[in-house]
Amino acid sequence: MKLNKLFGIIGSVHVPSSLIAAQAGTDGGSPAEKRLEWLRSQLIGRDLQFDTCFGKRLLTYADHTASGRCLRYIEEYITQQVLPFYGNSHTSDSSCGEKTTRMVHEAREYIRRCVGACPEDALIFCGSGATAAIKRLQEVMGIAVPANLRSQVIENLREEERWVVFVGPFEHHSNLLSWRQSIAEVVEIGIDADGLVDMEALELQLASMKYSNRPKLGSFSACSNVTGIIADTRALSRLLHKYGAYACFDFATSGPYVEIDMRSREEEGYDAIFLSPHKFPGGPGSPGILVMHEALYKLRSFPPSTCGGGVVAYVNGFNAKDTVYYNDIEEREDAGTPPIIQEIRAALAFWVKETVGYEPIDLHETIYMKMAMERLLRNPCIQVLGNLKAKMLAILSFLVFFGDKPLMAGLWPKPLNDLFESRRRLQRPKTGVDKSRLRYYLTKEEFAFILDAIEFIDHHTRKKNHGADGMDSPKIVWNGKNLRFETEDKEAFLEYRLIYPDAAISSAAASADKGKCGLGADSQAGEKEDRRVQAVMDMLHTYVPRSKRGRGLASHLCVAAFAHAQRNSMLVIPTCSYISVILVAAGQQQ
């Protein structure tokens, strides 16, 4: 589909000239790369600096599995093209109401096309993510009940009336706990040798006489949000349909990156999908989305899951039995004022995904994941989780080991944040599993920076017990409350690596290891700058006498380094674990 048609669906929108040129290939570069460059340029917070106890850090966001980032272009479009004409979509009598109603309808239809929904499928916006979408499916199936009534309802159900729901081994809590709290019986399917859903075990359960006369449904994650392993949703659908079970899939994690084609009429199609558009680039603030085949809707003879304005054709004030609800599922399940701005935002987020294209997304993620594996797997102290030979998204979940035991949770995620401002996720707090999302529109510099940060923290957290050259280094304890390092070190040194943005990171690292700065400058001006930087480095290497500790000398040295780096657009990376307790924050004295 052409670019102007993609965006023209959502009202009268000005298509960026840079994107038109990229689509046509008239700007001298790869169309896919130009689209990615445009996407990077629209990220809100791309150049944000964050105050930490080690001074300012440039934000590097690596937690896209949890949430996407806002895009300037979408926010400007909503501000300029939607909000001035905003009105309630329950009326078309006014110009504002008519325009808003049309835009909401077009947004819904555009998303339907993006996910391959057929006329028998209903698209329902609900809540703020896939959690609400899963809960809404349970409500329209008639199996959601209040927690305080669950036991009583189950006791009064005949066995053949109670649904059986099969779930996989790597479900998000929303696709497990909510089913457990419904009146359905939940059957968990284990994992096979490849880290995927055990298809043989699933077939045994589906074929079991125990469930032969009961309604059945499978609800599986299309992708693990921990390891990134992608499930074979088509094979799961075929197997579920073979035994008369509905096939439902949670696309919250993989939705922003993979093509979704429901094809609900087919044997390998999906009967329902759950989406979290807030995880898409440009999607924060979007509602959850449930797309379901009409066969799953069990409230035809009953009121809708939520009653209110906008879902009724006629109301009798004296007799509730005379109330007439709309027959169309999408209308009767849209009570009250809909999330108008949020729905339009979701459609725009889908447009961004479609515009970038699936091939560039898959190509960049595959390359980044391969490079990350080649680098991290060489480190005997880092264990990347999951089956690394399986098809997977670029999600890195890993443990850092000291000896034969993983480092305790929380020992290094906070320092990684404050030293490098790398925003990732402590995935399993009790086990210390850390997770980073290598999104497809990362620059090469950002990608290398994230891996540098992981390896730096790995190296220096292990040095707390065994220093370099076989010598003991001081014990470092992270004090999150006071946002500083506490060390037993009696001699404070400060050491920094200053790197120009265009310098090769590998060259910088090699030269830094020799006690120099990797600057990549070979001209006379560059050599002069080398000497200036070396002077700053020499100052930072200066020993801080005990008599001057507590007077802010270390902080002043930090200020000098950061000021120099900012003037020259340089990257500042601490490279030493010998950090004085008097270093509270740049420019602040104890």
Q: Residue 312: which H helix or E strand, with range?
A: strand 312-314
Q: What is the mean pLDDT of residues 299-323?
A: 88
Q: Residue 235 falls within a domain, yes or no?
A: yes
CATH number at residue 128: 3.40.640.10
| Domains identified in the chain, total number | 2
Q: Residue 38 falls within a domain, yes or no?
A: no
pLDDT, tens digit (0-9, with 9 covering 90-100), for 538-574:
444 333 444 444 444 444 444 444 455 455 544 444 4
- Would you say 383 and 62 are in contact if contact means Cβ atoms under 8 Å apart? no
Q: Residue 384: which H helix or E strand, with range?
A: strand 382-384
For the purposes of burial, counting CB atoms within 10 Å of the CB of 165, is it exposed (0-12), middle (13-18) or buried (19 or more)? buried
Give the domain range for residue 273.
111-338
Q: Residue 475 falls within a domain, yes or no?
A: yes
Q: Which of 338, 356, 382 marks a domain boundary?
A: 338
Q: What angle do CA 466, 414, 541 make, to 5 degrees?
A: 55
51 has pLDDT over 50:
yes
Q: Residue 310 falls within a domain, yes or no?
A: yes
CA distance 218 to 189: 10
Q: Which of 317-326, 351-360, 578-587 is the least confident region? A: 578-587
> Token pair of 414, please?
């906070």
- Give the relative orientation of helices 413-420 and 444-462 as an angle to the nearest 10 degrees: 130
If one compares 37 and 434, the residue with the highest pLDDT of the two is: 37
Q: Which of 338, 366, 393 marks a domain boundary?
A: 338
pLDDT value for 27: 58
pLDDT, tens digit (0-9, with 9 covering 90-100), for 340-371:
999 999 999 999 999 999 999 999 999 999 99
Q: Which residues pair with 398 in a beta bridge?
A: 384, 434
Q: Residue 440 falls within a domain, yes or no?
A: no
pLDDT value for 533: 44
Helix ranges (DSSP H) in 70-162: 72-77, 95-114, 130-141, 150-155
Q: Which of 320, 338, 356 marks a domain boundary?
A: 338
Burial 505-539 (b: 16+ CB within 10 A, else e): beebbebbeeeebbbebeeeeeeebeeebeebbee
Q: Residue 253: helix, strand or coil by DSSP?
A: coil
> Token pair of 33, please?
């790369």
pLDDT value for 556: 44
Helix ranges (DSSP H) in 357-504: 358-376, 413-420, 444-462
Q: Which residues are identified as catalytic?
A: 576
319, amino acid identity: N
CA distance 170 to 224: 6
496: phi then psi, degrees, rounded to nearest 5: -135, 155
Same structural domain for residues 329 and 472?
no
What is the share, in percent, of the chain residues with pLDDT greater than 70?
Answer: 67
Among candidate residues 513, 530, 512, the one with its CA nearest the CA of residue 521:
530
Q: Residue 213 falls within a domain, yes or no?
A: yes
Q: Residue 449 falls within a domain, yes or no?
A: no
Q: Residue 3 falls within a domain, yes or no?
A: no
Contacts (Cβ under 8 Å, ≥6 apart) of 41: none
If one compares 90 and 322, the residue with the highest pLDDT of the two is: 322
Rg, the chain, Cα only: 28
